[in-house]
Structure 1
Amino acid sequence: MPLSRRALAAAAVIAVVLPLSACGSGDDTGGSSDASGKVEGDITFQTWNLRANFKSYFEGVIAGFEKKYPDAHVKWVDQPAENYADKISADAAGGTLPDVVNVSPDLVAPLAKAGLALDLDKSASKYKKEYLPGAWASHQIPGVKGTYAFPWYLNTGPLFYNKALFEKAGLSPDQPPKTYDDLFADALKISDRTDGKVATLANVPTIEDFGRYGVPLMNKEGTGFTFNDAKGVELLTKYKELYKVKALDSQALTATPESSGRKFLTEAVAMNPGSALDLGNFKKQAPHLYKNIGITDQITSTGHVNMYVMGVMVNSRTKHTPAAVAFAHYVTDAEHQMSFAKKVAIFPSTAGSLEDPYFTKEDGTDETRVRVAAAKSLKTAVNYTPVLFSDQMKTELGNSVARALQGKQSPQEALDAAVKACDRLLQQQG
């Protein structure tokens, strides 16, 4: 399926837990961590729902690799998006995990804990400097030393804002909020000056918001969550204040990307994340909004926006470590990432690639407006979503946030409950 910004964002944060007992059932005699030998042998490369749209691209990449290393041969397999994590889990348990695997950070975490992911800090550290620091770090696991996948393609999204609504509220249309303090101040003004008819935001805070606010999300050992500290409580208290005066949309507790997008389209909300596809929709359906669209970075108080990242992992049990590492690097090197980025709306994780004119020069189209804005923010972006933060944990946090906003619990009580529930789920992961 096409890798839209929204689809990638969803895919990159799918939280799935592989059974560690199953992953750890293999022995350590099948492979070597030494990647310095001759690049040779037959290896298998597994991707995640990419064959339908990018068959010729990957066949070209494999042909180029085999030409460069004539003694190595790559078999490409592509798995559907549905049940991808289950497939990896079954392969891990059965000892049939491919040599090179397309993963997201949450998928690589249990494999790394079980010793099935090759530590690139030991086996491929010479390549580290080729990637953006934040991207390289995205496949590091709290409590486990090392890096367990080459960073591949990245994504993020700029923030749209309605200049006309800012101006009507007496705010500068050319100075949108950058930090959360700015955001909260502007949101209160917009609500006050429109008698609560215009909200600034349509979504409740997620784990990424806590990260961008500067809240420590986990302890360094990776054994417990910490977003219920004073700064986390402060953030949720601010959101509660916004919700009370309708600066946060009244339907935010049940909002979806589609519903919040409609709110922005009808100019009931002043700010909303989006993509170039949204700009085209605004131009057609809401020309008044379109001519007043502003594009800015995600709100952050740390100086770093959030990014979503995909990676390429090497199976630590591969019998052809030099070939597997060489191919994983080849797929994710600057040349091939740049080539892939020009075929789909994603961004390369390689250092310097975002300086290419493709990511810095606008040509007047909506597509380049968004691409340039997103690429600029990605240079120093980080993946705030903890790799151990599962889908169930997101639900627990969301439920706790809702209770706090509705006044059923204090922000401190709500976050304490969320941390307790998430820590319990963390222990169940093994």
Structure 2
Amino acid sequence: MSSLTNQNIFTVSRLNAEVRLLLENEMGIVWLVGEISNFSAPVSGHWYLTLKDSRAQVKCAMFRGNNRRVTFKPQNGQQVLVKARLSLYEPRGDYQLIIESMQPEGDGRLQQEFEKLKLKLAAEGLFAQSTKLALPEHPKRVGIITSKTGAALYDILDVLKRRDPSLEVVIYPTMVQGEEASIQIAQAIGCANSRNECDVLILGRGGGSLEDLWCFNNEIVARTIAASQIPIISAVGHEVDVTISDFVADLRAPTPSAAAELVSRDNSHKLQTLNNLINKLQARFSHYLTKNKQVIIGLLHRLERQHPTYQLQQQSQRLDELFIRLNRAMQSNLAAQSQHIERQQYKLQLHTPSHYIQDQRSALERLEQKLITSMDKNLLKARHQLSLAGEKLDTVSPLATLKRGYSISQTESGQIVTRSGDVKSGDILVTRLNDGEIRSTVS
């Protein structure tokens, strides 16, 4: 068994740091579609959320400097497309996405497909300046590929009529919006090449949203433009609108009217030549930027990982997490204390003197009622016993004897005479009968 060295033994901090660098260096930038959940925006200004689908989820952070560029307010349950780099939150050991940009899923998918096709065609050389055809200095016939009812056609015709009425025009009508527009545009370019009757072609339409202009971002249209033997000027939308057709075409015009000016002659011919050179320079510069964009982004990401801002972001995220945990703990503690106070108040109410006095009053009332009932019962019993005793006493009472014809003799002092020797001559006797008394003198 091989011996261990200090280099073989990792601390947790070192392991997490190594894994973070491995994730960031190997994965780079990723595009991700998912549903927002657990969205929170603390006072720090950073956003924290979870992106999920039906089977999995991943934690995400979007720092204040990046989320300021988001044009909508994220909501839980919303489907979004994000551009992010994979990283690791070292204090907790959780891998997460650091979001750099966020778009609603619909617009984001179109933009992602646009960037994907742009990189693909650029890698194949379809944007290379060396493959582009030069515009004729004095074209005699111009072909216009656009909608026959669109404003772009009338703008082009107005400019051509004003600048060079002798210039012949051939219109190749086609749809410039919708699912079938790409096929019709490619067919119109093919038709113009097969008839070979024009010196230059203008492919254009008015402005619109990315979805409205999507037929000009079609790969079939791009390859048809690249294969054209007739020089093509792309004049799609307004100056700020950019399509794949602009990169593939031999020249890009900011508007349909500008394209008409490029192919027509007037007294400002030298200015036109200068504009052509400027357009070529812009096209070359755009190609150069496209070619080196990924290299620059990679260097920027490397710089960001070495920049103190990254550590500040980590610490800021940790601070937000601790703040949330503290807030939850305080709320939980307050809830527990509130419940304890409620229980103590309930116990206090149960032992309050008013309840005790009320209970004692009720008990006293019960005892009073019980005493009254017992007194009534004892009084009734005593009355009954008294009645019985009275009846018994009546049976032995002298009065009862008197009723039967007997009498009682007493001296005036009240002494009962039971023997003849108890009286002497001249004493007054009181003889008590049942219905009265007789007074007599002893002789």
Q: Same fold (TM over 0.5)?
A: no
Superposition TM-score tier, normalisation by shorter sequence: under 0.3
Relative contact order (alpha carbons < 8 A, sep ≥ 6): 1 or 2 greater? 1
Between structures 1 and 2, the one with greater strand share: 2
Structure with the greater alpha carbon radius of gyration: 2
Q: Answer 1 or 2: which has greater helix percent.
A: 2
Q: TM-score, normalised by structure 1?
A: 0.25
Q: Report the TM-score, using the length of structure 2 for normalisation.
A: 0.24
